[in-house]
Structure 1
Amino acid sequence: MQDAPFALDRVNLPLFISVARHIFTAAENLLCQSGQSDKRGGYCAVFENEISNPGLLFHIGESLQDKLGKRIEVALEKGRRLQNWPEHLTSFQSRNHNVGCWGGAIRGRNFLFSFSGLPELWDEAVMFVLAIRLRQLQESDVLRQIGEDRNPHLRPLLEITHCTE
Protein backbone atom coordinates (compact mmCIF):
# COMPACT_ATOMS: atom_id res chain seq x y z
CA MET A 1 0.00 0.00 0.00
CA GLN A 2 1.35 3.40 -0.98
CA ASP A 3 1.73 6.19 1.56
CA ALA A 4 -0.67 9.10 1.26
CA PRO A 5 0.70 12.16 -0.53
CA PHE A 6 2.07 14.96 1.56
CA ALA A 7 -0.40 17.64 2.66
CA LEU A 8 0.81 21.23 2.64
CA ASP A 9 -0.60 22.64 5.86
CA ARG A 10 0.60 24.45 8.99
CA VAL A 11 1.60 21.19 10.65
CA ASN A 12 3.73 20.02 7.71
CA LEU A 13 5.09 23.38 6.55
CA PRO A 14 8.34 23.28 8.61
CA LEU A 15 9.05 19.73 7.40
CA PHE A 16 8.31 20.71 3.81
CA ILE A 17 10.74 23.64 3.91
CA SER A 18 13.38 21.53 5.66
CA VAL A 19 13.15 18.80 3.00
CA ALA A 20 13.31 21.40 0.21
CA ARG A 21 16.41 23.00 1.74
CA HIS A 22 18.09 19.62 2.18
CA ILE A 23 17.53 18.77 -1.50
CA PHE A 24 18.65 22.22 -2.67
CA THR A 25 21.83 22.01 -0.57
CA ALA A 26 22.63 18.60 -2.08
CA ALA A 27 22.14 20.01 -5.60
CA GLU A 28 24.28 23.03 -4.77
CA ASN A 29 27.05 20.74 -3.49
CA LEU A 30 26.95 18.63 -6.66
CA LEU A 31 27.11 21.79 -8.77
CA CYS A 32 30.06 23.16 -6.81
CA GLN A 33 31.94 19.85 -7.03
CA SER A 34 31.57 19.85 -10.80
CA GLY A 35 32.47 23.53 -11.13
CA GLN A 36 29.30 24.11 -13.16
CA SER A 37 27.73 27.01 -11.36
CA ASP A 38 28.17 29.84 -8.94
CA LYS A 39 24.40 30.13 -8.47
CA ARG A 40 23.62 29.61 -4.81
CA GLY A 41 19.96 30.40 -4.27
CA GLY A 42 16.54 30.90 -5.70
CA TYR A 43 12.82 30.78 -5.12
CA CYS A 44 10.51 27.81 -4.82
CA ALA A 45 6.81 28.25 -5.59
CA VAL A 46 4.22 25.61 -4.76
CA PHE A 47 0.81 25.77 -6.41
CA GLU A 48 -2.24 23.63 -5.83
CA ASN A 49 -2.97 22.06 -9.21
CA GLU A 50 -6.12 24.10 -9.86
CA ILE A 51 -5.18 27.44 -8.24
CA SER A 52 -3.19 30.02 -10.22
CA ASN A 53 -1.54 31.75 -7.26
CA PRO A 54 1.06 29.86 -5.26
CA GLY A 55 0.10 28.59 -1.84
CA LEU A 56 3.73 28.91 -0.84
CA LEU A 57 6.66 30.96 -2.12
CA PHE A 58 9.96 30.87 -0.29
CA HIS A 59 13.65 31.58 -0.76
CA ILE A 60 16.32 28.89 -0.50
CA GLY A 61 20.06 29.50 -0.32
CA GLU A 62 21.82 32.76 -1.02
CA SER A 63 20.95 35.10 -3.88
CA LEU A 64 22.29 38.41 -4.99
CA GLN A 65 19.79 41.12 -4.13
CA ASP A 66 19.50 42.23 -7.76
CA LYS A 67 18.48 38.68 -8.82
CA LEU A 68 15.65 38.13 -6.32
CA GLY A 69 12.84 39.81 -8.26
CA LYS A 70 13.66 38.02 -11.49
CA ARG A 71 13.89 34.63 -9.76
CA ILE A 72 10.48 35.12 -8.16
CA GLU A 73 9.03 36.16 -11.52
CA VAL A 74 10.51 33.15 -13.33
CA ALA A 75 9.47 30.64 -10.64
CA LEU A 76 5.90 31.95 -10.83
CA GLU A 77 5.88 31.95 -14.64
CA LYS A 78 7.06 28.33 -14.82
CA GLY A 79 4.32 27.16 -12.45
CA ARG A 80 1.55 29.13 -14.13
CA ARG A 81 2.65 27.97 -17.57
CA LEU A 82 2.57 24.35 -16.41
CA GLN A 83 -0.97 24.91 -15.13
CA ASN A 84 -1.93 26.00 -18.65
CA TRP A 85 -0.64 22.71 -20.08
CA PRO A 86 -2.51 20.09 -17.98
CA GLU A 87 -1.20 17.21 -20.09
CA HIS A 88 2.44 18.12 -19.32
CA LEU A 89 4.45 16.68 -16.44
CA THR A 90 7.07 19.43 -16.56
CA SER A 91 7.45 22.99 -17.81
CA PHE A 92 10.43 21.74 -19.84
CA GLN A 93 7.83 20.41 -22.30
CA SER A 94 6.64 23.96 -23.09
CA ARG A 95 9.90 25.83 -22.72
CA ASN A 96 10.86 28.46 -25.25
CA HIS A 97 14.24 30.12 -24.74
CA ASN A 98 13.36 32.80 -27.29
CA VAL A 99 10.75 34.28 -24.95
CA GLY A 100 12.38 33.40 -21.62
CA CYS A 101 10.25 30.36 -20.77
CA TRP A 102 12.34 27.70 -19.03
CA GLY A 103 12.00 24.28 -17.49
CA GLY A 104 12.03 23.91 -13.73
CA ALA A 105 8.41 23.28 -12.72
CA ILE A 106 6.91 19.82 -12.31
CA ARG A 107 3.42 18.47 -11.70
CA GLY A 108 2.76 16.27 -8.67
CA ARG A 109 -0.47 14.59 -7.66
CA ASN A 110 -1.86 17.58 -5.78
CA PHE A 111 0.71 20.31 -6.30
CA LEU A 112 2.90 21.98 -8.91
CA PHE A 113 6.46 22.62 -7.75
CA SER A 114 8.54 25.34 -9.41
CA PHE A 115 12.07 26.59 -8.78
CA SER A 116 14.21 29.31 -10.30
CA GLY A 117 17.79 30.01 -9.37
CA LEU A 118 19.94 27.12 -10.61
CA PRO A 119 20.65 26.07 -14.20
CA GLU A 120 17.43 24.91 -15.88
CA LEU A 121 17.84 21.12 -15.58
CA TRP A 122 19.00 21.46 -11.97
CA ASP A 123 15.88 23.50 -11.13
CA GLU A 124 13.85 20.64 -12.58
CA ALA A 125 15.83 17.89 -10.83
CA VAL A 126 15.43 19.61 -7.44
CA MET A 127 11.67 19.83 -7.94
CA PHE A 128 11.37 16.20 -9.08
CA VAL A 129 13.26 15.00 -6.00
CA LEU A 130 11.11 17.20 -3.77
CA ALA A 131 7.90 15.80 -5.29
CA ILE A 132 9.20 12.23 -4.90
CA ARG A 133 10.18 12.82 -1.27
CA LEU A 134 6.73 14.29 -0.55
CA ARG A 135 5.02 11.31 -2.22
CA GLN A 136 3.56 13.49 -4.95
CA LEU A 137 5.26 11.34 -7.62
CA GLN A 138 6.61 7.80 -7.78
CA GLU A 139 10.35 7.62 -8.36
CA SER A 140 10.05 4.67 -10.75
CA ASP A 141 7.49 6.56 -12.88
CA VAL A 142 9.66 9.67 -13.02
CA LEU A 143 12.80 7.74 -13.97
CA ARG A 144 10.88 5.87 -16.66
CA GLN A 145 9.67 9.16 -18.19
CA ILE A 146 12.74 11.33 -17.58
CA GLY A 147 15.80 9.41 -18.71
CA GLU A 148 19.40 10.30 -18.01
CA ASP A 149 19.76 11.70 -21.53
CA ARG A 150 16.87 14.12 -20.85
CA ASN A 151 18.01 15.20 -17.35
CA PRO A 152 21.41 13.83 -16.30
CA HIS A 153 21.18 15.45 -12.85
CA LEU A 154 18.06 13.68 -11.60
CA ARG A 155 19.47 10.27 -10.64
CA PRO A 156 22.64 11.63 -8.95
CA LEU A 157 20.50 14.03 -6.92
CA LEU A 158 18.14 11.21 -5.93
CA GLU A 159 21.14 9.14 -4.85
CA ILE A 160 22.87 11.86 -2.84
CA THR A 161 19.62 12.72 -1.03
CA HIS A 162 19.00 9.02 -0.32
CA CYS A 163 15.76 8.98 -2.27
CA THR A 164 16.34 6.04 -4.59
CA GLU A 165 13.93 3.12 -4.31
Structure 2
Amino acid sequence: MKNIRTFISIFLILLPLWAQAQREVKCRVVRVSDGDSLTCLARNNKQIKVRLLDIDAPERRQPFGNKARQQLAQLIFKREITLRISGYDRYNRTLATVFNEKNENINLKMVQLGLAWAYNQYSENPEYGKAEALAKKRKIGLWRETNPIEPSRYRRELYKRNIQNKKQRTEKN
Protein backbone atom coordinates (compact mmCIF):
# COMPACT_ATOMS: atom_id res chain seq x y z
CA MET A 1 0.00 0.00 0.00
CA LYS A 2 2.82 2.39 0.90
CA ASN A 3 4.62 1.55 -2.36
CA ILE A 4 1.51 2.37 -4.36
CA ARG A 5 1.16 5.77 -2.65
CA THR A 6 4.83 6.50 -3.28
CA PHE A 7 4.46 5.53 -6.93
CA ILE A 8 1.34 7.69 -7.35
CA SER A 9 3.04 10.64 -5.65
CA ILE A 10 6.09 10.39 -7.90
CA PHE A 11 3.85 9.96 -10.95
CA LEU A 12 1.84 13.08 -10.07
CA ILE A 13 5.02 15.09 -9.56
CA LEU A 14 6.55 13.96 -12.87
CA LEU A 15 3.36 14.13 -14.95
CA PRO A 16 3.54 17.90 -15.67
CA LEU A 17 7.20 17.57 -16.66
CA TRP A 18 6.42 14.67 -18.96
CA ALA A 19 3.47 16.51 -20.49
CA GLN A 20 5.64 19.54 -21.19
CA ALA A 21 8.37 17.46 -22.79
CA GLN A 22 9.00 18.10 -26.45
CA ARG A 23 6.24 16.74 -28.66
CA GLU A 24 5.10 17.21 -32.22
CA VAL A 25 1.75 18.49 -33.47
CA LYS A 26 0.59 18.88 -37.06
CA CYS A 27 -1.63 21.84 -37.85
CA ARG A 28 -2.68 24.27 -40.59
CA VAL A 29 -1.62 27.93 -40.31
CA VAL A 30 -4.68 30.23 -40.23
CA ARG A 31 -3.04 33.50 -39.14
CA VAL A 32 0.41 35.10 -39.12
CA SER A 33 0.54 37.86 -36.50
CA ASP A 34 4.12 38.97 -37.08
CA GLY A 35 7.49 37.54 -38.04
CA ASP A 36 7.65 35.19 -35.06
CA SER A 37 4.01 34.51 -34.09
CA LEU A 38 1.22 32.58 -35.73
CA THR A 39 -2.03 30.77 -35.08
CA CYS A 40 -2.71 27.34 -36.44
CA LEU A 41 -5.62 24.94 -36.39
CA ALA A 42 -4.93 21.45 -35.13
CA ARG A 43 -6.74 18.40 -36.47
CA ASN A 44 -9.15 18.54 -33.51
CA ASN A 45 -10.12 22.10 -34.63
CA LYS A 46 -8.34 23.59 -31.63
CA GLN A 47 -6.52 26.87 -32.32
CA ILE A 48 -2.92 27.00 -31.16
CA LYS A 49 -1.16 30.34 -30.70
CA VAL A 50 2.51 29.81 -31.46
CA ARG A 51 5.65 31.82 -30.70
CA LEU A 52 8.59 30.70 -32.83
CA LEU A 53 11.33 29.40 -30.57
CA ASP A 54 14.91 30.71 -30.66
CA ILE A 55 14.18 33.83 -32.74
CA ASP A 56 12.94 37.39 -32.29
CA ALA A 57 11.55 39.17 -35.36
CA PRO A 58 11.10 42.94 -35.67
CA GLU A 59 7.89 44.36 -34.24
CA ARG A 60 5.30 45.52 -36.79
CA ARG A 61 6.20 49.20 -36.44
CA GLN A 62 9.92 48.55 -36.69
CA PRO A 63 11.79 48.60 -39.99
CA PHE A 64 11.37 45.16 -41.60
CA GLY A 65 8.50 44.30 -39.23
CA ASN A 66 5.95 44.03 -42.02
CA LYS A 67 8.46 42.36 -44.32
CA ALA A 68 9.14 39.69 -41.68
CA ARG A 69 5.40 39.05 -41.24
CA GLN A 70 4.87 38.87 -45.00
CA GLN A 71 7.80 36.49 -45.45
CA LEU A 72 6.60 34.16 -42.69
CA ALA A 73 3.13 34.19 -44.27
CA GLN A 74 4.61 33.40 -47.68
CA LEU A 75 6.45 30.43 -46.20
CA ILE A 76 3.61 28.85 -44.20
CA PHE A 77 0.20 30.60 -44.40
CA LYS A 78 -2.65 28.16 -45.20
CA ARG A 79 -0.15 25.30 -45.19
CA GLU A 80 0.31 22.20 -43.08
CA ILE A 81 3.18 22.54 -40.62
CA THR A 82 4.67 20.49 -37.84
CA LEU A 83 5.24 22.12 -34.48
CA ARG A 84 8.05 20.72 -32.37
CA ILE A 85 6.78 22.04 -29.05
CA SER A 86 9.14 22.75 -26.19
CA GLY A 87 6.88 24.59 -23.74
CA TYR A 88 4.86 27.75 -23.21
CA ASP A 89 5.72 31.40 -22.69
CA ARG A 90 4.35 33.80 -20.07
CA TYR A 91 1.46 34.69 -22.41
CA ASN A 92 0.54 30.98 -22.64
CA ARG A 93 1.61 30.78 -26.28
CA THR A 94 3.08 27.51 -27.47
CA LEU A 95 6.85 27.77 -27.94
CA ALA A 96 7.80 25.70 -30.96
CA THR A 97 10.15 25.13 -33.82
CA VAL A 98 8.09 25.13 -37.02
CA PHE A 99 8.76 22.74 -39.88
CA ASN A 100 7.14 22.90 -43.31
CA GLU A 101 6.09 19.93 -45.45
CA LYS A 102 9.70 19.56 -46.68
CA ASN A 103 10.86 19.36 -43.04
CA GLU A 104 12.67 22.72 -43.31
CA ASN A 105 13.15 24.62 -40.05
CA ILE A 106 11.16 27.82 -40.64
CA ASN A 107 12.50 29.50 -37.48
CA LEU A 108 16.04 29.10 -38.77
CA LYS A 109 15.00 30.18 -42.27
CA MET A 110 13.70 33.51 -40.90
CA VAL A 111 17.14 34.19 -39.39
CA GLN A 112 18.90 33.09 -42.58
CA LEU A 113 16.74 35.53 -44.57
CA GLY A 114 17.80 38.35 -42.26
CA LEU A 115 14.27 38.85 -40.96
CA ALA A 116 14.82 37.79 -37.35
CA TRP A 117 17.49 37.85 -34.68
CA ALA A 118 18.77 34.68 -33.10
CA TYR A 119 17.46 34.70 -29.53
CA ASN A 120 20.90 33.79 -28.20
CA GLN A 121 20.10 34.27 -24.51
CA TYR A 122 17.43 31.53 -24.74
CA SER A 123 18.61 29.33 -27.60
CA GLU A 124 20.67 26.24 -27.07
CA ASN A 125 21.13 25.72 -30.82
CA PRO A 126 24.32 27.32 -32.21
CA GLU A 127 22.92 27.17 -35.78
CA TYR A 128 20.83 30.28 -35.11
CA GLY A 129 23.84 32.38 -34.11
CA LYS A 130 25.78 31.15 -37.15
CA ALA A 131 22.85 31.97 -39.45
CA GLU A 132 22.57 35.47 -37.97
CA ALA A 133 26.31 36.11 -38.38
CA LEU A 134 26.16 35.04 -42.02
CA ALA A 135 23.08 37.19 -42.74
CA LYS A 136 24.87 40.18 -41.13
CA LYS A 137 28.00 39.55 -43.18
CA ARG A 138 25.96 39.38 -46.40
CA LYS A 139 23.79 42.38 -45.36
CA ILE A 140 20.61 40.42 -45.95
CA GLY A 141 17.20 41.75 -44.85
CA LEU A 142 17.29 43.92 -41.74
CA TRP A 143 21.08 43.79 -41.75
CA ARG A 144 20.99 46.33 -44.60
CA GLU A 145 20.13 48.89 -41.92
CA THR A 146 23.04 50.82 -40.42
CA ASN A 147 22.02 50.14 -36.85
CA PRO A 148 19.06 47.74 -36.56
CA ILE A 149 17.39 47.78 -33.14
CA GLU A 150 16.71 44.44 -31.51
CA PRO A 151 12.98 43.90 -30.89
CA SER A 152 13.56 43.35 -27.16
CA ARG A 153 15.27 46.75 -26.92
CA TYR A 154 12.55 48.35 -29.06
CA ARG A 155 9.85 46.96 -26.72
CA ARG A 156 11.71 48.21 -23.61
CA GLU A 157 12.06 51.71 -25.08
CA LEU A 158 8.41 51.73 -26.14
CA TYR A 159 7.36 50.67 -22.64
CA LYS A 160 9.47 53.46 -21.07
CA ARG A 161 7.93 56.05 -23.42
CA ASN A 162 4.42 54.86 -22.56
CA ILE A 163 5.17 55.14 -18.83
CA GLN A 164 6.59 58.65 -19.31
CA ASN A 165 3.55 59.70 -21.35
CA LYS A 166 1.16 58.38 -18.68
CA LYS A 167 3.13 60.21 -16.00
CA GLN A 168 3.01 63.47 -17.98
CA ARG A 169 -0.75 63.14 -18.54
CA THR A 170 -1.27 62.48 -14.83
CA GLU A 171 0.79 65.54 -13.89
CA LYS A 172 -1.27 67.75 -16.23
CA ASN A 173 -4.52 66.66 -14.58
For normalisation by structure 1, the TM-score amounts to 0.28
Q: Which protein, 1 or 2, shows the higher relative CO under an 8 Å CA cutoff with sep ≥ 6?
A: 1
Bigger Rg, structure 1 or 2: 2
For normalisation by structure 2, the TM-score amounts to 0.27
